[in-house]
Amino acid sequence: MTGESRLAVLEHLVSDFAKSTGLLPAAERPQRYLWTDAFAVCNFLELYRQTGDESYRDLALQLVDQVHTILGRHREDDRREGWISGLNGEKGRLHPAAGGLRIGKPLNERGPNDPLDDRLEWDRDGQYFHYLTKWMHALNRVSGVTGDLVFRRWAIELAQTAHAQFTTAPASTGRKAMYWKMSIDLSYPLVPSMGHHDPLDGLITYLELQASRIGGTEETPGLTTEVADMTGICEGKDWTTDDPLGIGSLLSDAYRLAQITAGGTWKETDLLEILLNASRLGLARYARTGSLKAPPKFRLAFRELGLTIGLHAIGRLERLIEERPALFKNQQLLSREVGMLMRYVTLTEVIEGFWLDRAQRKAPGFLEHRDINLVMLTTSLAPDGYLTI
Protein backbone atom coordinates (compact mmCIF):
# COMPACT_ATOMS: atom_id res chain seq x y z
CA MET A 1 0.00 0.00 0.00
CA THR A 2 1.47 3.39 -1.00
CA GLY A 3 1.55 6.31 1.42
CA GLU A 4 -1.18 8.07 -0.56
CA SER A 5 -3.50 5.06 -0.64
CA ARG A 6 -2.85 4.37 3.06
CA LEU A 7 -3.83 7.94 3.90
CA ALA A 8 -7.02 7.58 1.84
CA VAL A 9 -7.92 4.40 3.76
CA LEU A 10 -7.23 6.12 7.08
CA GLU A 11 -9.41 9.09 6.21
CA HIS A 12 -12.21 6.79 5.12
CA LEU A 13 -12.01 4.75 8.34
CA VAL A 14 -12.04 7.75 10.70
CA SER A 15 -14.86 9.38 8.76
CA ASP A 16 -16.87 6.16 8.97
CA PHE A 17 -16.27 6.00 12.74
CA ALA A 18 -17.23 9.66 13.27
CA LYS A 19 -20.51 9.22 11.42
CA SER A 20 -21.34 5.85 12.98
CA THR A 21 -20.93 7.05 16.56
CA GLY A 22 -22.59 10.46 16.21
CA LEU A 23 -19.44 12.56 16.45
CA LEU A 24 -19.72 14.24 13.05
CA PRO A 25 -22.30 15.29 12.29
CA ALA A 26 -23.09 15.59 15.99
CA ALA A 27 -26.03 13.34 16.83
CA GLU A 28 -28.66 14.06 19.45
CA ARG A 29 -27.56 10.91 21.34
CA PRO A 30 -23.97 10.03 20.36
CA GLN A 31 -22.76 6.49 21.07
CA ARG A 32 -19.71 6.90 23.27
CA TYR A 33 -17.57 3.99 24.52
CA LEU A 34 -14.48 4.82 26.53
CA TRP A 35 -11.97 2.27 25.19
CA THR A 36 -12.87 2.92 21.55
CA ASP A 37 -12.88 6.68 22.01
CA ALA A 38 -9.44 6.72 23.67
CA PHE A 39 -7.90 5.10 20.60
CA ALA A 40 -9.97 7.33 18.29
CA VAL A 41 -8.62 10.50 19.93
CA CYS A 42 -5.07 9.29 19.23
CA ASN A 43 -6.05 8.47 15.63
CA PHE A 44 -7.41 11.96 14.98
CA LEU A 45 -4.25 13.48 16.45
CA GLU A 46 -2.09 11.29 14.21
CA LEU A 47 -4.02 12.31 11.09
CA TYR A 48 -3.60 15.94 12.14
CA ARG A 49 0.17 15.33 12.40
CA GLN A 50 0.34 13.61 9.02
CA THR A 51 -1.84 16.04 7.05
CA GLY A 52 -1.71 19.34 8.94
CA ASP A 53 -5.49 19.47 8.55
CA GLU A 54 -6.78 21.21 11.68
CA SER A 55 -10.20 19.59 11.31
CA TYR A 56 -8.68 16.35 12.64
CA ARG A 57 -7.32 18.12 15.71
CA ASP A 58 -10.76 19.69 16.20
CA LEU A 59 -12.40 16.25 15.95
CA ALA A 60 -10.08 14.98 18.70
CA LEU A 61 -11.12 17.90 20.92
CA GLN A 62 -14.81 17.42 20.11
CA LEU A 63 -14.53 13.75 20.97
CA VAL A 64 -12.90 14.53 24.33
CA ASP A 65 -15.74 16.94 25.07
CA GLN A 66 -18.41 14.39 24.12
CA VAL A 67 -16.79 11.68 26.26
CA HIS A 68 -16.63 13.93 29.30
CA THR A 69 -20.13 15.30 28.79
CA ILE A 70 -21.67 11.84 28.34
CA LEU A 71 -19.49 9.33 30.21
CA GLY A 72 -18.55 11.76 32.95
CA ARG A 73 -22.22 12.15 33.85
CA HIS A 74 -24.89 9.74 35.05
CA ARG A 75 -26.92 7.76 32.51
CA GLU A 76 -30.26 8.98 31.20
CA ASP A 77 -31.97 5.89 32.69
CA ASP A 78 -30.48 6.55 36.16
CA ARG A 79 -32.38 8.26 38.95
CA ARG A 80 -29.22 10.25 39.65
CA GLU A 81 -28.33 13.26 37.54
CA GLY A 82 -25.29 15.39 36.82
CA TRP A 83 -21.58 14.70 37.06
CA ILE A 84 -20.71 11.32 38.58
CA SER A 85 -18.05 13.13 40.64
CA GLY A 86 -20.84 14.90 42.54
CA LEU A 87 -19.47 18.28 41.48
CA ASN A 88 -22.06 20.79 40.40
CA GLY A 89 -22.37 23.09 37.39
CA GLU A 90 -19.27 24.95 36.34
CA LYS A 91 -17.02 23.12 38.80
CA GLY A 92 -18.00 19.82 37.20
CA ARG A 93 -17.15 21.16 33.76
CA LEU A 94 -13.75 22.34 35.03
CA HIS A 95 -12.99 18.86 36.42
CA PRO A 96 -14.94 16.53 34.08
CA ALA A 97 -13.04 13.33 34.92
CA ALA A 98 -12.66 13.91 38.66
CA GLY A 99 -15.18 11.15 39.42
CA GLY A 100 -13.92 8.77 36.76
CA LEU A 101 -15.73 7.91 33.52
CA ARG A 102 -18.37 5.33 32.69
CA ILE A 103 -17.55 2.49 30.30
CA GLY A 104 -20.51 3.23 28.03
CA LYS A 105 -22.11 -0.25 28.15
CA PRO A 106 -25.76 -0.58 27.00
CA LEU A 107 -27.24 -1.80 30.32
CA ASN A 108 -27.23 0.05 33.62
CA GLU A 109 -24.95 -1.19 36.39
CA ARG A 110 -25.84 -3.95 38.83
CA GLY A 111 -26.99 -2.74 42.23
CA PRO A 112 -24.79 -3.41 45.30
CA ASN A 113 -27.11 -6.17 46.55
CA ASP A 114 -28.01 -7.70 43.18
CA PRO A 115 -26.60 -11.15 42.33
CA LEU A 116 -23.79 -11.36 39.80
CA ASP A 117 -24.68 -12.73 36.38
CA ASP A 118 -21.41 -13.30 34.54
CA ARG A 119 -23.04 -13.16 31.11
CA LEU A 120 -25.01 -9.98 31.76
CA GLU A 121 -22.11 -8.24 33.48
CA TRP A 122 -20.31 -7.87 30.15
CA ASP A 123 -23.15 -5.64 28.95
CA ARG A 124 -23.58 -3.67 32.18
CA ASP A 125 -22.14 -0.21 32.77
CA GLY A 126 -19.70 0.78 35.48
CA GLN A 127 -16.01 1.71 35.40
CA TYR A 128 -13.03 -0.36 34.21
CA PHE A 129 -9.58 0.65 35.40
CA HIS A 130 -7.85 -0.36 32.16
CA TYR A 131 -10.29 1.82 30.18
CA LEU A 132 -9.49 4.75 32.45
CA THR A 133 -5.75 4.34 31.87
CA LYS A 134 -6.36 4.41 28.11
CA TRP A 135 -8.22 7.70 28.54
CA MET A 136 -5.44 9.14 30.72
CA HIS A 137 -3.02 8.36 27.91
CA ALA A 138 -5.32 9.94 25.30
CA LEU A 139 -5.65 13.13 27.38
CA ASN A 140 -1.89 13.31 27.80
CA ARG A 141 -1.48 12.96 24.03
CA VAL A 142 -3.91 15.86 23.50
CA SER A 143 -1.79 18.03 25.81
CA GLY A 144 1.36 17.00 23.98
CA VAL A 145 -0.06 17.85 20.55
CA THR A 146 -2.01 21.02 21.40
CA GLY A 147 0.19 22.41 24.17
CA ASP A 148 -2.90 22.87 26.35
CA LEU A 149 -1.94 21.57 29.80
CA VAL A 150 -5.52 21.34 31.08
CA PHE A 151 -5.88 17.92 29.45
CA ARG A 152 -2.85 16.60 31.35
CA ARG A 153 -4.26 18.01 34.59
CA TRP A 154 -7.51 16.16 33.89
CA ALA A 155 -5.52 12.97 33.27
CA ILE A 156 -3.71 13.33 36.60
CA GLU A 157 -6.97 14.02 38.43
CA LEU A 158 -8.44 10.90 36.85
CA ALA A 159 -5.38 8.87 37.87
CA GLN A 160 -5.67 10.02 41.48
CA THR A 161 -9.39 9.24 41.63
CA ALA A 162 -9.10 5.85 39.92
CA HIS A 163 -6.16 4.78 42.05
CA ALA A 164 -7.85 5.71 45.31
CA GLN A 165 -11.02 3.78 44.48
CA PHE A 166 -9.76 0.76 42.53
CA THR A 167 -6.94 -0.21 44.91
CA THR A 168 -7.67 -2.13 48.09
CA ALA A 169 -5.68 -3.76 50.90
CA PRO A 170 -7.44 -6.95 52.05
CA ALA A 171 -6.97 -7.65 55.76
CA SER A 172 -6.18 -11.29 54.92
CA THR A 173 -2.97 -10.39 53.06
CA GLY A 174 -2.21 -6.79 53.94
CA ARG A 175 -0.84 -6.41 50.41
CA LYS A 176 -2.52 -3.97 48.06
CA ALA A 177 -4.57 -5.35 45.19
CA MET A 178 -7.11 -3.97 42.72
CA TYR A 179 -10.73 -4.38 41.75
CA TRP A 180 -11.42 -5.15 38.09
CA LYS A 181 -14.74 -3.32 37.77
CA MET A 182 -16.32 -0.63 39.94
CA SER A 183 -19.75 0.97 40.12
CA ILE A 184 -20.47 4.13 38.17
CA ASP A 185 -19.92 6.32 41.22
CA LEU A 186 -16.94 4.20 42.39
CA SER A 187 -18.67 3.40 45.69
CA TYR A 188 -18.55 -0.43 45.47
CA PRO A 189 -16.85 -3.14 43.39
CA LEU A 190 -18.85 -4.90 40.68
CA VAL A 191 -16.14 -7.49 40.00
CA PRO A 192 -13.72 -7.74 42.93
CA SER A 193 -11.01 -9.82 41.23
CA MET A 194 -7.94 -8.11 39.74
CA GLY A 195 -7.41 -7.77 35.99
CA HIS A 196 -4.23 -9.51 34.81
CA HIS A 197 -2.52 -6.41 33.39
CA ASP A 198 -4.39 -3.66 35.29
CA PRO A 199 -1.58 -2.83 37.76
CA LEU A 200 0.95 -2.78 34.91
CA ASP A 201 -1.28 -0.44 32.87
CA GLY A 202 -1.57 1.76 35.93
CA LEU A 203 2.14 1.87 36.70
CA ILE A 204 3.24 2.73 33.17
CA THR A 205 0.48 5.29 32.68
CA TYR A 206 1.36 6.98 35.97
CA LEU A 207 5.03 7.04 34.94
CA GLU A 208 4.05 8.56 31.60
CA LEU A 209 2.06 11.30 33.31
CA GLN A 210 4.90 11.93 35.75
CA ALA A 211 7.42 12.17 32.93
CA SER A 212 5.21 14.58 30.97
CA ARG A 213 4.61 16.65 34.07
CA ILE A 214 8.34 16.93 34.79
CA GLY A 215 8.92 17.99 31.22
CA GLY A 216 6.25 20.68 31.42
CA THR A 217 6.20 24.14 32.93
CA GLU A 218 3.13 23.81 35.12
CA GLU A 219 2.81 23.07 38.81
CA THR A 220 0.54 20.03 39.08
CA PRO A 221 0.24 17.38 41.78
CA GLY A 222 2.46 14.37 41.29
CA LEU A 223 1.72 10.65 41.40
CA THR A 224 4.64 9.53 43.56
CA THR A 225 2.47 7.63 46.04
CA GLU A 226 0.45 6.02 43.27
CA VAL A 227 3.61 4.90 41.46
CA ALA A 228 4.94 3.34 44.67
CA ASP A 229 1.66 1.49 45.26
CA MET A 230 1.55 0.12 41.72
CA THR A 231 5.19 -0.89 41.86
CA GLY A 232 4.37 -2.97 44.93
CA ILE A 233 1.33 -4.60 43.32
CA CYS A 234 3.34 -5.41 40.18
CA GLU A 235 6.23 -6.99 42.06
CA GLY A 236 6.70 -10.65 41.17
CA LYS A 237 3.79 -10.78 38.68
CA ASP A 238 3.91 -13.00 35.61
CA TRP A 239 2.52 -10.97 32.69
CA THR A 240 2.59 -13.79 30.13
CA THR A 241 -0.59 -14.33 28.10
CA ASP A 242 -1.49 -15.94 24.79
CA ASP A 243 -4.37 -13.50 24.21
CA PRO A 244 -3.44 -11.37 21.16
CA LEU A 245 -4.84 -8.16 22.64
CA GLY A 246 -2.97 -8.79 25.88
CA ILE A 247 0.30 -9.46 24.04
CA GLY A 248 -0.15 -6.28 22.00
CA SER A 249 -0.74 -4.34 25.21
CA LEU A 250 2.49 -5.73 26.70
CA LEU A 251 4.46 -4.66 23.63
CA SER A 252 2.87 -1.20 23.60
CA ASP A 253 3.57 -0.82 27.31
CA ALA A 254 7.18 -1.92 26.75
CA TYR A 255 7.65 0.80 24.15
CA ARG A 256 6.04 3.43 26.38
CA LEU A 257 8.33 2.36 29.22
CA ALA A 258 11.35 2.58 26.92
CA GLN A 259 10.38 6.12 25.92
CA ILE A 260 10.08 7.08 29.59
CA THR A 261 13.47 5.50 30.27
CA ALA A 262 15.04 7.30 27.30
CA GLY A 263 13.71 10.55 28.75
CA GLY A 264 15.72 9.93 31.90
CA THR A 265 12.84 9.85 34.41
CA TRP A 266 12.85 6.06 35.00
CA LYS A 267 15.97 3.98 35.38
CA GLU A 268 14.66 0.54 36.40
CA THR A 269 15.06 -1.25 33.07
CA ASP A 270 14.57 -4.70 34.63
CA LEU A 271 10.83 -4.25 34.12
CA LEU A 272 11.36 -3.59 30.42
CA GLU A 273 13.26 -6.87 30.09
CA ILE A 274 10.46 -8.70 31.95
CA LEU A 275 7.82 -7.28 29.58
CA LEU A 276 9.77 -8.20 26.46
CA ASN A 277 10.35 -11.72 27.75
CA ALA A 278 6.65 -12.15 28.60
CA SER A 279 5.71 -10.84 25.15
CA ARG A 280 8.03 -13.33 23.44
CA LEU A 281 6.66 -16.26 25.41
CA GLY A 282 3.10 -15.16 24.70
CA LEU A 283 3.74 -14.75 20.98
CA ALA A 284 5.26 -18.23 20.78
CA ARG A 285 2.14 -19.68 22.41
CA TYR A 286 -0.20 -17.63 20.23
CA ALA A 287 1.59 -18.63 17.04
CA ARG A 288 0.99 -22.30 17.92
CA THR A 289 -2.78 -21.83 18.25
CA GLY A 290 -3.30 -21.42 14.51
CA SER A 291 -6.17 -19.02 15.21
CA LEU A 292 -5.30 -16.81 12.23
CA LYS A 293 -6.31 -19.68 9.94
CA ALA A 294 -9.85 -19.76 11.37
CA PRO A 295 -12.80 -18.31 9.38
CA PRO A 296 -13.75 -14.71 10.31
CA LYS A 297 -16.82 -15.76 12.33
CA PHE A 298 -14.46 -17.30 14.89
CA ARG A 299 -12.10 -14.30 15.02
CA LEU A 300 -12.28 -10.96 16.82
CA ALA A 301 -10.69 -8.26 14.69
CA PHE A 302 -10.07 -5.79 17.51
CA ARG A 303 -8.13 -8.36 19.53
CA GLU A 304 -5.94 -9.30 16.57
CA LEU A 305 -5.42 -5.64 15.69
CA GLY A 306 -4.46 -4.95 19.29
CA LEU A 307 -1.61 -7.38 18.66
CA THR A 308 -0.52 -5.67 15.44
CA ILE A 309 -0.42 -2.29 17.19
CA GLY A 310 2.02 -3.83 19.66
CA LEU A 311 4.01 -5.48 16.87
CA HIS A 312 4.48 -2.04 15.31
CA ALA A 313 6.18 -1.00 18.56
CA ILE A 314 8.99 -3.55 18.22
CA GLY A 315 10.94 -1.79 15.46
CA ARG A 316 10.48 1.56 17.16
CA LEU A 317 11.73 0.07 20.42
CA GLU A 318 14.78 -1.39 18.68
CA ARG A 319 15.73 2.00 17.20
CA LEU A 320 15.24 3.75 20.53
CA ILE A 321 17.56 1.36 22.38
CA GLU A 322 20.18 1.66 19.61
CA GLU A 323 20.02 5.47 19.73
CA ARG A 324 20.24 5.79 23.55
CA PRO A 325 22.19 2.71 24.73
CA ALA A 326 23.72 4.44 27.76
CA LEU A 327 20.28 4.86 29.33
CA PHE A 328 19.52 1.13 29.21
CA LYS A 329 21.77 -0.62 31.71
CA ASN A 330 20.98 -4.09 30.32
CA GLN A 331 21.13 -2.93 26.69
CA GLN A 332 22.57 -6.19 25.32
CA LEU A 333 19.88 -8.32 26.93
CA LEU A 334 17.17 -5.96 25.70
CA SER A 335 18.55 -5.97 22.17
CA ARG A 336 18.59 -9.78 22.19
CA GLU A 337 14.96 -9.93 23.35
CA VAL A 338 13.91 -7.42 20.70
CA GLY A 339 15.78 -9.40 18.06
CA MET A 340 13.84 -12.55 18.96
CA LEU A 341 10.57 -10.60 18.85
CA MET A 342 11.29 -9.28 15.36
CA ARG A 343 10.59 -12.71 13.84
CA TYR A 344 6.88 -12.20 14.64
CA VAL A 345 6.54 -8.79 12.95
CA THR A 346 5.43 -10.46 9.71
CA LEU A 347 2.13 -11.25 11.46
CA THR A 348 1.29 -7.57 11.07
CA GLU A 349 0.85 -7.77 7.30
CA VAL A 350 -1.12 -11.01 7.61
CA ILE A 351 -3.62 -9.58 10.09
CA GLU A 352 -3.94 -6.10 8.61
CA GLY A 353 -4.26 -7.51 5.10
CA PHE A 354 -7.08 -9.81 6.20
CA TRP A 355 -9.13 -7.03 7.81
CA LEU A 356 -8.42 -4.50 5.08
CA ASP A 357 -10.33 -6.82 2.75
CA ARG A 358 -13.77 -5.21 2.41
CA ALA A 359 -15.41 -8.62 2.23
CA GLN A 360 -14.08 -9.52 5.69
CA ARG A 361 -15.29 -6.18 7.09
CA LYS A 362 -18.81 -7.06 5.92
CA ALA A 363 -18.80 -10.34 7.85
CA PRO A 364 -21.29 -10.52 10.78
CA GLY A 365 -18.46 -11.01 13.28
CA PHE A 366 -16.80 -7.76 12.20
CA LEU A 367 -20.05 -5.80 12.06
CA GLU A 368 -21.02 -6.95 15.56
CA HIS A 369 -18.09 -4.92 16.96
CA ARG A 370 -17.86 -2.49 14.08
CA ASP A 371 -16.82 0.72 15.85
CA ILE A 372 -14.04 -0.76 17.94
CA ASN A 373 -12.83 -2.77 14.92
CA LEU A 374 -12.68 0.35 12.74
CA VAL A 375 -10.76 2.25 15.39
CA MET A 376 -8.24 -0.52 16.08
CA LEU A 377 -7.65 -1.04 12.34
CA THR A 378 -6.98 2.70 11.99
CA THR A 379 -4.56 2.64 14.92
CA SER A 380 -2.71 -0.34 13.46
CA LEU A 381 -2.30 1.43 10.10
CA ALA A 382 -1.12 4.66 11.77
CA PRO A 383 0.20 3.59 15.20
CA ASP A 384 2.38 6.54 16.20
CA GLY A 385 -0.54 8.61 17.47
CA TYR A 386 -1.19 5.93 20.08
CA LEU A 387 2.30 4.53 20.69
CA THR A 388 3.99 7.89 21.30
CA ILE A 389 3.93 9.36 24.79
- Contact in structure between 317 and 258 (CB atoms under 8 Å): yes
Position 215 scores a pLDDT of 53
DSSP-assigned letters across all residues of 325-385: GGG-TTHHHHHHHHHHHGGGTTHHHHHHHHHHSHHHHTSHHHHHTHHHHHHHHHHHHSTHH
Position 171 scores a pLDDT of 73
How far is Cα 235 from Cα 77, in angstroms, rounded to an integer? 41
Position 220 scores a pLDDT of 61
**Each residue of 210-241: pLDDT tens digit?**
998 765 545 567 899 999 999 999 999 999 99
- Contact in structure between 255 and 317 (CB atoms under 8 Å): yes
Q: DSSP letter for 124, please.
A: B
Helix/strand/coil (H/E/C) assignment for every residue in 273-341: HHHHHHHHHHHHHHHHHCHHHCCHHHCCHHHHHHHHHHHHHHHHHHHHHHHCHHHCCCHHHHHHHHHHH
Position 329 scores a pLDDT of 86
Dmax over CA atoms of the chain, in Å, equals 59
How far is Cα 378 from Cα 381, in angstroms, rounded to an integer? 5
The pTM of this model reads 0.96
Q: DSSP letter for 173, please.
A: T
- Give the HSE-up count for residue 160: Cα atoms under 13 Å, Cβ half-sphere: 16
Q: DSSP letter for 178, please.
A: E
- End-to-end, the C-alpha distance of the chain in Å comes to 27
Q: Which of 228, 363, 241, 251 is nearest to 300 (CA)?
A: 363
Q: Which residues in the chain come in under a pLDDT of 50?
A: 217
Q: Which of 132, 60, 71 is nearest to 96 (CA)?
A: 71
Position 269 scores a pLDDT of 81
